[in-house]
Amino acid sequence: MQTIDLAPEDSEWELDEGDAIAPGLTALRLLGGGVRYQAYLAWDERMRSLVVAKLLRPALVGDEPSLRGLSKEVEMLEALDHPVLIRGFHADLEGERPHVVVEHVEGPRLSSLIRRYGPLPADQLVPLALQMLAAAHYMAGTGFAHLDIKPSNIIMAGPPRLIDLSIARPLERCAQLTVPVGTDGYMAPEQCAPTPGAVGSPADVWGIGATLYRALTGELPYPEGDEDAESPVERWPQLREPATPPPPSVPAELTDPIMSCLAHDPARRPAAGEVADLLEPLLESMAKLRLARLKPRLRAT
> Which residue numbers are catalytic?
148
**DSSP one-letter string for the chain:** ---SS---TT----PPTT-EEETTEEEEEEEEE-SSEEEEEEEETTTTEEEEEEEE-GGGTT-HHHHHHHHHHHHHHHH---TTBPPEEEEESSSSS-EEEEE---S-BHHHHHHHH-SPPHHHHHHHHHHHHHHHHHHHHTTEE-----GGGEE-SSS-EE---SS-EEHHHHTT--S--S-GGG--HHHHSSS----SHHHHHHHHHHHHHHHHHSS-SSPPP-TT-SSHHHH-GGGTSPPPPPPTTS-HHHHHHHHHHT-SSGGGSPPHHHHHHHHHHHHHHHHHHHHHHHHHHHHH-
